[in-house]
Chain A
């Protein structure tokens, strides 16, 4: 059996492939085609790492807040450093930040930092956080040349000016440059599903993940998402490491639920993604992921840390929906057809409008695939308030 022949179905069998969550706490998606079978072609016979999703601390989410982490619209790197240190110690129970980092990373690792630059310059993985993560990795002996900051789109990395802002010696990889650029994807590792009759039904995993990195630290942002409901740990990994994923959206329908979860089950991505540090400095509560409307951006001044992406995204979803309630906007779960618009300008200005029947249920669906804990009652949500 070669890698192409190996078909893994996330260990759940065909019935599970047809689970059509997307319903969740909201209403159904009237008219959405049935969820097609999704075939996961990961590395065959790979032994999952115990560090892999949901990792060392399933269900644990550490939330760290500091009131001065943004000052004058700028993220404070020294304060980020303190927040990161305290959060890492609380997550792991270790007494020092270095010992905490060593639970996940060894000096010989090649570490990828998966950023989310989309949405720059308004809301994107803060370079200040990335720099502090790099400093922490260096402090435990990871050489600079073994640290890779990466994302799918080179132009978005440039937009965030990471090329100037990350330390010398570290590498910066934009997987795609230009339309239809698939040269940096591994054609043996993919997820295959025909959602809307598209001509290419496969989404390939990036070679930097399959061939270069040994560990991944995921640094998503805290944003609502026009299709997925929110974009957090799961979507930053799945839709940020595989190509050809926009095909899952055909307004007003989207198959982000359950496709995001399936992508994250794919080996070796699942085993290498050992830690999530969510940038909650600025929270986009409407218009994500690409909004530039500051009216919907809130300075939450928060970092979230955890190994369980489902638990973290569940907490993120609750926070964003709470903010929407406070602002008098409809819930991300609201699937009333009357909320739909085909005018993106209207969507970007009106928080009661949707472009899609949103699918925040993708988080719980990922939980059902074994990627973590989505039941709020079972999540160990720790809140640190620093001053």
Chain B
């Protein structure tokens, strides 16, 4: 096979398929390669998706029977110690009515498959079970297509879009992106817990298609810089926990033991009680932030989504950045093909589009956030312990006066090697990292 296409896309995830939809709509001859048995077979996220960016590509996604699990009307944030925890949440009826589909949960194996089908309906060719092992180049080094793992599997294309995810040996092999360092990714493991819809609705206080998310931080990652999450699906709960890979290496904590311990936490156990695990999977999160973003395009190629390290760790946003970047890549490609100019210069409009959009603006805003979290391990150790001690003391009625309790709390605070100065520095640096 030495067929020629206008555009070859590596990876049928949110970035690649978003681009394929836009390109196919414009009549651009597009082929998408997916290494999994089907689109979504290798993909993992929490998984919360955002309607805004999806609607920019498929305005009628709901009518197209998008496999939505639950529409999120409440977001909780938990700050846990090993055996206790604080919870705040925001529930808003408007998120179920006029702002419906702002955020909803999906199962990626179902969603990505459906999404790829929409691109196919528009005319893009999606080829699963095919690994792209290398890129074709001309004598000047411009990318002219892809080489697949199949016999005679070279496919020429005028432009190639790399949307092959955060773990991309291809990007590394071609030098278009450096191999991430362990501290630039988080390793997350996820389990899907089977529970009847009625049980989920009762435990989370929702009905119909409404759902709840909980983002979880503190003493549930074994002192490592990490987060956990608990999301409601229709008939299951998504449970994930992840931490910086460098921290995993340093602590020798085993990921499968970490998630098992998390499942036994008193805030989590009652919610998943009686549920059976259906799946256990693992993936990286691109946590390198703004400074880890590679050059976004060159002669004949562009990079989008996780492969370009586009991920906002603070706001659990990744799929939407993938969709937005895929869309902007496609818009740039359409212009370039129209002018018959596939050079780096012509494609650099892609980087400008991203810079003008919320994608790079948000990543720039939070560029210090990753380093802040990584260098303030007290957020995962001393702080949740001290905060829990204080709450437990204040809530225990045992004849000890409150002034005395305050003293005990301060003593404990100092025992954790915390001080007002250290706390102030934490708050100040935290503010600087997100302001």
Q: Do A and B come from one complex?
A: no
Residues on B facing A (Cβ under 8 Å): none
Residues on A facing B (Cβ under 8 Å): none
